[in-house]
């Protein structure tokens, strides 16, 4: 599975945003919004996804003045939240935030509908690596130490939201590449996984950089490795897997989705307002402080092509690794 990286330099990203504003100059759509908007997430409060959703809610509220409610619907490896969002009216008042998890649900046939036909991607908000954190009792201080330790005993890990999640697939790829001897223990998202790790129930967790930064600061977990392709500003001394000689990448990118028949003017307006907000100085700095990056602007049409490509990559990874659900 390929990591989603920033495709342009800061200068080109600025130019692209300027061009998007001219090409998609969207005023507030007529009669929208006139009541609160809800953003559904599939994880518990406190997770990285929750932080991004709350930033998105702030951006929309500042732009349009309506309240935006973040609604947490964890459970079922994200399927509960996906089902609620799929049944919502296509009127722009229900937005679903999900990363690669939604694509994994579809690729693994964990939902009884085609996710690419049921949902329209609106905007990519952020991109962030996963960080491998360990319980203090784990003596390893590098990925090679960890591999050596796992030869003496199988190590338990968790993260993300269940079987077939980005963490499960990514760590399975790392195990295949490196010989790491690990067992996956599913929890309902990164926040419960981190609590289990702090309590000594598991040896380690792969969690979004946004969740990892705060957890590391508590001293109850130790950061071991950045599973992405580049170091993050919030954890500048933590090396990536690539720096340590491995090719596996475990990363995520959060998208906003709406039901497929949502009116195009609403989709375009949401795309512009959210992307402009996330790429503003205020939110860029806030994201970088917790280990994330704002995503470059991309149109809904181009994002749809991108997620279709990611979907195919995830299907291939599930088949290659023989992951059972």
Helices (H), the chain: 10-23, 48-64, 79-86, 100-107, 115-118, 143-150, 166-178, 190-198, 209-218, 264-278, 281-289, 300-321
Instruction: Tell whether domain 129-244 is in CATH 1.10.287.130.
Output: no
237 contact partners, CB below 8 Å, separation of at least 6: none
Residues in the chain, overall count: 325
Q: Name the one residue in this structure whose structure tokens are 């969740």.
A: 211
Confirm whether 24-127+254-321 and 129-244 share one CATH topology: yes
Residue 319 structure tokens? 């088949």
- For residue range 55-107, what is the model confidence (pLDDT) as tens digits? 999 999 999 999 999 999 988 878 999 999 999 999 999 999 998 889 989 99
**Local structure of 82: helix, strand or coil:** helix
Instruction: Tell whether domain 24-127+254-321 is in CATH 3.40.190.150.
Output: yes
Q: Is the pLDDT of residue 22 over 60?
A: no
Helices (H), 186-322: 190-198, 209-218, 264-278, 281-289, 300-321
Q: Is the pLDDT of residue 3 over 50?
A: no
Q: Is the pLDDT of residue 162 over 90?
A: no
Q: Which residue has the higher pLDDT, 324 or 237?
A: 237
Q: Is the pLDDT of residue 174 over 50?
A: yes
Domain boundaries, the chain: 24-127+254-321, 129-244
Residue 147 confidence class, pLDDT cut points 50, 70, 90:
very high
- For residue range 121-144, what is the model confidence (pLDDT) as tens digits? 999 999 989 999 999 999 999 999
Mean pLDDT of the chain: 88
Give the integer Cα–Cα distance in Å for 325 and 314. 14
- In this structure, of 10-19, 28-37, 38-47, 156-165, the range with the lowest mean pLDDT score is 10-19
DSSP 8-class letter at 127: E
- For residue range 232-267, what is the model confidence (pLDDT) as tens digits? 889 999 999 999 999 999 988 999 999 999 999 999
């Amino acid at each position: 599975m390929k990591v989603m990286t920033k495709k342009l330099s800061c200068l080109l990203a600025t130019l692209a945003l300027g061009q998007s504003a001219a090409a998609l100059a969207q005023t507030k759509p007529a009669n929208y919004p006139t009541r609160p908007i809800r953003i559904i997430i599939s994880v518990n409060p406190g997770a990285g996804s929750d932080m991004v959703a709350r930033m998105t809610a702030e951006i929309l509220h500042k732009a349009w003045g309506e309240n935006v409610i973040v609604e947490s619907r964890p459970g079922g490896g994200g399927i509960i939240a996906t089902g609620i969002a799929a049944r919502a009216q296509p009127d722009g008042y229900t937005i679903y935030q999900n990363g690669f998890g939604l694509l994994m649900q579809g690729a693994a046939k964990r939902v009884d509908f085609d996710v690419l036909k049921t949902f329209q991607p609106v905007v990519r908000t952020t991109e962030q690596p996963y960080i491998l954190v360990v319980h203090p009792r784990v003596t390893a201080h590098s990925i090679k130490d960890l591999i050596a330790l796992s030869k003496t005993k199988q190590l338990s890990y968790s993260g993300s939201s269940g079987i077939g999640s980005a963490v499960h697939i990514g760590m399975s790829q790392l195990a295949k590449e490196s010989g790491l001897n690990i067992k996956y223990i599913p929890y309902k998202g990164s926040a419960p996984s981190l609590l289990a790790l702090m309590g000594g129930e598991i040896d380690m967790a792969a969690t979004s950089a946004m969740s990892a930064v705060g957890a590391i600061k508590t001293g109850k977990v130790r950061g071991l490795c950045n599973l992405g392709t580049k170091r993050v500003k919030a954890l500048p001394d933590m090396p990536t897997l690539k720096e340590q000689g491995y090719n596996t990448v475990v990363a995520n990118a959060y998208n906003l989705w709406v039901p497929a028949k949502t009116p195009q003017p609403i989709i375009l307006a949401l795309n512009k307002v959210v992307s402009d907000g996330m790429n503003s100085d205020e939110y860029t700095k806030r994201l970088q402080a917790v280990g994330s990056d704002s995503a470059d602007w991309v149109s809904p049409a181009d994002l749809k092509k991108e997620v279709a490509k990611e979907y195919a990559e995830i299907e291939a990874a599930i088949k290659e690794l023989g992951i059972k659900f």
